Amino acid sequence: MSLKHKFLIIFFIFIFSFIMGSTSIYAQNTIYFNGENISGNISTVSVKGELLVKATDLAEMLNADLKWQPALKLLEMEADDVKIKLMANSSYIQIKNDAIRTKAGLQLIDNQAYLPLAKAIEAFGYLLEYQRDNEELYIFQPETTISNVSWQEDGNQLQIKMDEITPYRILHSDDGKELTVEIDKAEIDEEFSDNISNNNYYLKVVNVPDKALLRLIIRSRNSIPFKIDGGVYEKEDALILSFLPQLKKIYIDEDNTFAVEATGKIPEADIEYLSDVRKMIIDIPSIVIGEYELDIEKNSFIKDVSVRQHNLDPVVLRIEVETLGNKPLQPIIDPQKQKNNVLSFKEGEKTIIRDLAYNSGQLSFKSTAHIDPEAFLLSQPPRLVVNLFNAQRGDNILDEINVDDSQIEKIRTARFDEKTVRLVADLKELTGYQISEKQEEGYYSYIISLQNKFSKVSTEDTADFKNLNIALTGSTDYEVKKFTHPHRIVIDVKNAYNNLDELDMPANGGLIKEIRSSNYELEGEKVTRLVFELDKYFSHTIKKSDDGRLINIALAKSADAAPDEPMLIAAPKNNLIIIDAGHGGFDPGAIGYTGLQEKEPNLAIAKKLAEILDNKGQKALLTRNRDKFISLQKRVSTANEADAELFVSIHANSINNNTAGGVETYYNGNNNNSRLFAEKIHDKLSRSLGIIDRGIKKDNFYVIKYTKMPSVLIETAFLSNPREEKLLRSPEFHSKAAALIADGIIDYLRENGGR
């Protein structure tokens, strides 16, 4: 064979291979248009890895006008004021005034024009989702249009304006500096406006064509103060992302006032003065550092200021102020003069202390100006010392006050140094204390409350009752609660020192199965809990005597006993209980250490809980019973429209710290019974779930803020903790958590009897 013939054979083999490799006459994709399978109605080919559709089929599908100019081999297609142009042997597609490059361009196959399906369909405003695993292509019309993204409420809320809310999910980066909002079946308005990018934040809009979604990527120089649970709210035409306020400015104004300004409301700060009075530490909760301005030049009383993010769980901003003089800076607390986003300080005014008094464990006095008492305990002999800076003694301040009390022997006052008045309470034994302040009639009133102690716990039997007697050293604020499974009488005493292990406790037996105690904190107040676990329970009544120092609880020994004021326990009713499995569908929620998505254990626990409640004769309704997206608005409306009795939302927690763990129960104060409902459930979880007890907390999560019935949100465990993520994968843990939540629900219903 000649060299020429060999060359021709090789050339034809190459051309044939190229054609076969570049064009597949039968494309394997299944194509759906607005939910309908149209694969059999259109002709498609694959060229250079790009899916092409016959032009006449696409024109019919879109009801478009089609024009072909043979001389130029130019194709024009027009629909809804959108025109595209393609020319054979060119890889470009012209859309209005833009030219977009494609892989294959316009192809003429068997005298028919084929054009790139994805680029053409997108030009006409459609969205595509390509599921490669099963080679399915979905073509949608957009269901919502994003018109603008803007800051609201002075930079603490981000509003994403859209026609209507479609499924969405929010993702937080590991470093906390990037927030991604993914919105399904969404497009950007032609007149879209970015009103959030500034010197700290930057917005990037990304259209993900093969997933039919839009990404709004928000990047910050600092950690973005956002909580996925509780930080998202829905309106009819907008998503609202609530951020924690940021530090904005630290400055000294023209009135010589030292001020700390944030982008939103500043919560009550914890202020500490170091003993040399030249340094002040300000700890502000729920504020993040942000980009702030520091302007303290040319002043006579502040030497230096340093700022740092002291904590992220919970969020605490710390400001340390070093002063030049000996006068401490004191906060300005006049609400008439103070903005809620500004914390202001003046150099300490000289004040006059007057009207020192003592009554039932409370030491009180008045001051002509705000002060911050420095208090501490000394042990030998036991005494409480209170230093009042920049103060002078005025009317009704005696050198010594003798007290006939179980806690105090006497109170002494003296000038400690040139600037300080010192109060000393001689104690009979060491105890804790709390200091409170309020403004009234031109004065600042201060109360130093000594913590009560338990002086005696005893029982006394009559024919029909067993009386529980709890005696304290002073009057106290307390609550008596009844829990079931097992039956327990619980006494929560505020501002009391737990010395119960030092007392002789009544013997177990009869109605009393066990007596125990514990300590916890509720909404910033320290509480001592005394628990009487009972063998049987019929009813009880409560009496308070001896100026509030003695609590008497009469336990009925039988159902026939009739106390004067019985506490009747109603039988359970078949009231509807809404069980809400957080997240779902396109919204995975938090993602665990090894990839477990929060929506999965949420649903598993919720379904198990519904099953248990059904077996107990209760009616339960799941907001979702499968992996499906349900908006927060829909979850709330489901509960409210059904006039449900109770609402329980199941979640799993996650933070950047992978050592944090435990169970939390949240409630909202909009319904008076929500806190009691939370206590019933959390009592079970904290005692028996087997992980750390992180307590009962109050918050404004959307689903418990807007539901009308008693509502709780439970963070069962931490996905960010590897050990707890493993638990959240376990069906045994799902069953255990569900059973404990069910016990708490039944407890609540038995004691409240529904509505």
pLDDT of residue 133: 67
- CA distances to 275, 458, 649 from 65, rounded to whole Å, are 85, 93, 52
Per-residue pLDDT band at 154 (split at 50, 70, 90):
low
CA dist 287 and 249 (Å) reads 12
Residue 3 has pLDDT above 70, yes or no: no
pLDDT of residue 589: 85
Per-residue pLDDT band at 22 (split at 50, 70, 90):
very low
CA angle (142, 148, 149) in 5-degree steps: 115
Among candidate residues 608, 610, 745, the one with its CA nearest the CA of residue 673: 745
Residue 332 has pLDDT above 60, yes or no: yes
Highest mean pLDDT among 220-234, 243-257, 321-335: 243-257
Residue type, 413: T
pLDDT of residue 334: 55
Q: What average pLDDT score do residues 278-305 get?
A: 85
Locus of tokens 């080919």: 45
Residue 270 has pLDDT above 90, yes or no: no
Q: What average pLDDT score do residues 270-286 get?
A: 78
Q: What average pLDDT score do residues 110-130 get?
A: 88
pLDDT of residue 37: 87
Considering only residues 385 and 233, tell me which one the structure prediction assigns the higher pLDDT.
385
φ, ψ at 144 (rounded to 5°): -155, 155
CA angle (299, 301, 302) in 5-degree steps: 80
Q: Which residue blocks in 616-663 are alpha helix, DSSP H? A: 632-641
Q: What average pLDDT score do residues 342-367 get?
A: 86
pLDDT of residue 326: 67
pLDDT of residue 16: 42
- Listed in sequence order, the residues at least 6 apart from 235 whose beta carbon sits closer than 8 Å to its beta carbon are none
Q: What average pLDDT score do residues 63-75 get?
A: 92
3-state secondary structure 680-704: HHHHHHHHHCCCCEEEEEECCCHHH
Instruction: Tell me which of 208-217, 292-301, 332-341, 480-489 is least confident.
Output: 332-341
Alpha carbon of residue 427 to chain centroid: 43
Give the tokens for residue 738: 């569900």
Task: For the chain, list the domains and their CATH numbers.
Answer: 22-123 (3.30.457.10), 144-242 (2.60.40.3500), 247-347 (2.60.40.3500), 352-446 (2.60.40.3500), 452-556 (2.60.40.3500), 576-752 (3.40.630.40)
Per-residue pLDDT band at 18 (split at 50, 70, 90):
very low
- Mean pLDDT of all residues belonging to the chain: 83
pLDDT of residue 629: 84
Among candidate residues 276, 246, 275, the one with its CA nearest the CA of residue 263: 246
Which tens digit of pLDDT belongs to each residue from 173-196?
A: 877 788 999 998 888 887 888 888
Which tens digit of pLDDT belongs to each residue from 701-753?
A: 889 988 999 999 999 999 989 999 999 999 999 999 999 999 999 988 887 75
Q: What average pLDDT score do residues 566-592 get?
A: 72
Per-residue pLDDT band at 20 (split at 50, 70, 90):
very low
- CA distances to 204, 583, 611, 623 from 615, rounded to whole Å, are 51, 26, 6, 19
* 429, 409 Cβ separation under 8 angstroms: no
What's the order of all strands across the beta sheet hosting 576-581? Answer: 619-622, 576-581, 646-653, 711-718, 663-667, 693-698
pLDDT of residue 44: 92
Considering only residues 360 and 437, tell me which one the structure prediction assigns the higher pLDDT.
437
pLDDT of residue 21: 40
Q: What average pLDDT score do residues 138-160 get?
A: 83
Residue 561 has pLDDT above 80, yes or no: no
CA dist 616 and 608 (Å) reads 13
- CA distances to 11, 19, 573, 596 from 16, rounded to whole Å, are 9, 5, 79, 49
Give the tokens for residue 188: 């950007």
Catalytic amino acids? 715
Among candidate residues 287, 284, 283, the one with its CA nearest the CA of residue 248: 287
Which tens digit of pLDDT belongs to each residue from 600-643?
A: 999 999 999 999 999 988 999 999 999 988 888 889 989 998 88
Residue 335 has pLDDT above 60, yes or no: no
